[in-house]
Amino acid sequence: MFAVLVIRRTLTQGCVYGLLSGLGAASADAVYGLIAGLGLSIIMNVLLGLQFWLHLAGGLFLCYLGVRTCTSVAVHNPASAQGRQLFTAYSSVFLLTLTNPITILSFIGIFSGLGLTQTSSASAMTLVLGVFTGSALWWIMLSSLVGLFNKHLNAKSLTWINRLSGLIILAFGANALISLIS
């Protein structure tokens, strides 16, 4: 889901937007890695208690983002990087990743399974740095590779990419909302 968003932003807005979107996801991963790594069970229990509301907020935001992406006008020239828009690219994916219950549960499961929930602060920080670095490297590679294809696309193909990625994002949002019912 986040990869679709990063790919779309890289193609339609440029590598900087795609990269910052990916770094938003990497930062959220680091936050959950820190919580799990330090064994902050109180915070994890609160987050798990809020799981329904986080899932609802994430699903609604994905639906909004999907519709907005589907209906956006594709421009062949990527926008010039501006502070507020760059912050929005980063923060929107950061918040979206934080509302993803799968992210919360995966870090709890991985760190618990490896016996890493009661590590020292220094070990936890090293682990979090590793999580962030690995995730950031993935997003750097993805946005860089996708950026290479941007030169070969025209406004018509970018419009279809917007529609397709919007529908995929909307489907993820709808799936998140439907899963709340069952």
Rounded-to-integer distance, Cα 37 and Cα 171, Å: 32
Tell me: the pLDDT tens digits for 111-133?
666 666 555 667 777 878 888 99
Structural domain for 7, as ranges = 2-181
What backbone phi and psi angles, to 5 degrees, belong to 73? -85, 130
Rg of the chain over all Cα atoms, to the nearest angstrom: 17
Helix then strand then coil, % of the chain, to nearest 5: 85, 0, 15
Candidates 85, 76, 103; CA nearest to 20 is 85
Residue 44's pLDDT band, with cuts at 50, 70 and 90, is: low
Q: How much is the pLDDT for 154?
A: 76
Tell me: the pLDDT tens digits for 136-169?
999 999 999 888 877 777 778 778 888 888 898 8
The distance in angstroms from the start CA to the end CA of the chain is: 21
Q: How much is the pLDDT for 40?
A: 66
Residue 23's pLDDT band, with cuts at 50, 70 and 90, is: very high
Rounded-to-integer distance, Cα 6 and Cα 12, Å: 10
Residue 84's pLDDT band, with cuts at 50, 70 and 90, is: confident
Quick check: 7 and 146 in contact, CB under 8 A? Answer: yes
pTM of the prediction? 0.72
Q: How much is the pLDDT for 19?
A: 94
Tell me: the pLDDT tens digits for 51-63?
888 888 888 988 9
| Number of domain units in the chain | 1
